[in-house]
Amino acid sequence: MSSWIAITRQLRQTKVMFSRNICRSNICHSENVDTNSADKVGGFAKAYEKQSHILDVESTPPPTFASLLRNSKLVDLGDPVGKIVVGKIFHVVEDDLYIDFGWKFHCVCPRPSIRAEDYVRGARVRIQIKDLELSSRFLGSSTDLTLLEADCKLLSLVSSPVKSSEKTT
Amino acid sequence: MYPRILIRKLKPNASIFHRSNSTAAQPLEQSKTNEEIKSAKSPLDHPDFFQVHNLFTVKDLFGARVHFGHKEGSLNELMAPYLYGSRQGHLIFDLDITAEHLRKALNFTAHIAYRGGIICFFNRNSLNAHTVEKTALECGEYAHTRFWKGGIFTNANHQFGAITRLPDLCIFLNTQNNILNQHTAVRDSAKMLIPTVGIVDTNCNPNLITYPVPGNDDTPAAIELYCNLFKSAIKRGKEARMKFLQENEENT
pLDDT value of residue B224: 96
pLDDT at residue B252, as a whole number: 77
Q: How crowded is residue A65: how many other Cβ atoms within 10 Å of its Cβ?
A: 22
End-to-end CA distance of chain B: 21
Exposed / middle / buried, residue A130 (Cβ in 10 Å: 0-12, 13-18, 19+): middle
Number of folded domains in chain B? Answer: 1
Report chain B residues whose CB lies below 8 A from the CB of A75: 87
Contact: B73, A144; criterion CB under 8 Å: yes
Considering the domain boundaries, does residue B200 fall inside one?
yes
- Between CA B121 and CA B117 the distance in angstroms is 13
**Which chain B residue lies closest to A80 (C-alpha atoms)?**
B88
Report helix, strand or coil for B222.
helix
Q: Name which of B60, B61, B67 to mutate to probe chain A: the one with the most chain A Cβ atoms within 10 A of its Cβ.
A: B67
How far off is chain A from B103, nearest CA to CA, in Å?
A: 16
pLDDT at A28: 45
Nearest to A119 by CA among A92, A87, A152: A92
The residue in chain A having the minimum alpha-carbon distance to the alpha carbon of residue B125 is A148
Q: What is the CATH number of the domain that holds B90?
A: 3.40.50.10490
Angle, vertex CA B228, rays to CA B222 and CA B233, nearest 5: 125
Give bridge partners of residue A96 from the DSSP assignment: A93, A110
Whether B49 contacts B236, CB under 8 Å: no
Using CA atoms, how far apart are residues A150 and A99, in angstroms rounded to an integer? 10
Asked if residue B154 lies in contact with residue B188, where contact means CB atoms within 8 angstroms, the answer is yes
Residues of B in contact with A143 (CB under 8 A): 73-76, 203
pLDDT tens column, A15-28: 555 555 554 544 44
Q: Measured between CA atoms, how close is B41 to chain A, in angstroms?
A: 32
**Closest-CA distance of chain B to residue A97, Å:** 15
Tell which of B88, B98, B128 to mutate to test the A interface (max A CBs under 10 Å): B88
pLDDT, residue A120, reads 93
Give the span between the Cα atoms of B211 and B104, in whole angstroms: 7
Answer whether residue B93 is part of any domain: yes
Closest chain A C-alpha to B201 CA, distance in angstroms: 11
**Tens digit of each residue's pLDDT (9 = 90 or more) over A150-160:** 999 999 999 99
**CA B72 to each of CA A76, A106, B32, B81, B203: distance values in angstroms, whole numbers, following the listed order:** 20, 19, 58, 14, 9
One-character DSSP codes across chain A: -HHHHHHHHHHHHHHHHHHHHHHHHHHHHHHHHHHHHHHTS-HHHHHHHHHHTTTPPP-PPPPPHHHHHHTSHHHHH-S-TT-EEEEEEEEEETTEEEEE-SSSS-EEEEPPSTTGGG--TT-EEEEEEEESS-EEPPTT-SS-EE-S-BEEEEEEEEE-HHHHHHHH-
Q: Chain B contacts of A104, Cβ < 8 Å?
A: 65, 68-70, 90, 216, 218-219
> Which residues of chain B are within 8 Å of residue A74 when distances are taken between CB atoms?
87
Is B224 within a domain? yes
Q: Given this model, what pLDDT does residue A79 score?
A: 93
Q: What is the pLDDT of residue B2?
A: 52
Residue among B71, B88, B218 whose CB faces A144 most closely: B71
Count Cα neighbours of B167 within 13 Å in the Cβ-side half-sphere. 26
Q: B73, A68: Cβ pair inside 8 Å?
A: no
pLDDT-flagged residues of chain B (< 50): 9-18, 32, 36-40
In a domain, B16, yes or no: no
**Mean of the per-residue pLDDT values of chain A:** 81
3-state SS, residue B142: strand
| B103 inside domain | yes
Q: What is d(CA A13, CA A21) in angstroms, rounded to the nearest whole number?
A: 12
Region of B209 please: left (phi>0), alpha (psi -120 to 50) or beta.
beta
SS3 state of residue B214: strand
Q: Report the alpha-carbon distance of residue B177 to residue B170 in Å, rounded.
A: 15
Range of the domain at B117: 58-251
User: Which residues of chain B neighbour A103 with C-beta distances below 8 Å?
Assistant: 65, 68
Per-residue confidence (pLDDT) for residue B226, from 0 to 100: 97
Q: Residue B226: which of B238, B235, B217 has the closest Cα? A: B217
Each residue's pLDDT tens digit, A33-46: 444 555 578 889 99
Residue B48 lies in a domain: no
Q: Residue B70 and residue A146: Cβ atoms within 8 Å?
A: yes
Residue B247, Ramachandran bin (φ over 0: left; ψ between -120 and 50: alpha; else beta): alpha
Is residue B144 one of the residues assigned to a domain? yes
Rounded Cα distance, B220 and A109, in Å: 19
Kindly report the pTM of this predicted structure. Answer: 0.77
**B234 domain residue, yes or no:** yes
Say what the pLDDT of residue B60 is.
Answer: 94
Summarised one tens digit per residue, pLDDT across range A58-114 is 778 889 999 999 999 999 999 999 999 999 999 999 999 999 999 999 999 999 999
Nearest to B73 among A63, A72, A135 (CB): A135
Between CA B31 and CA B13 the distance in angstroms is: 9
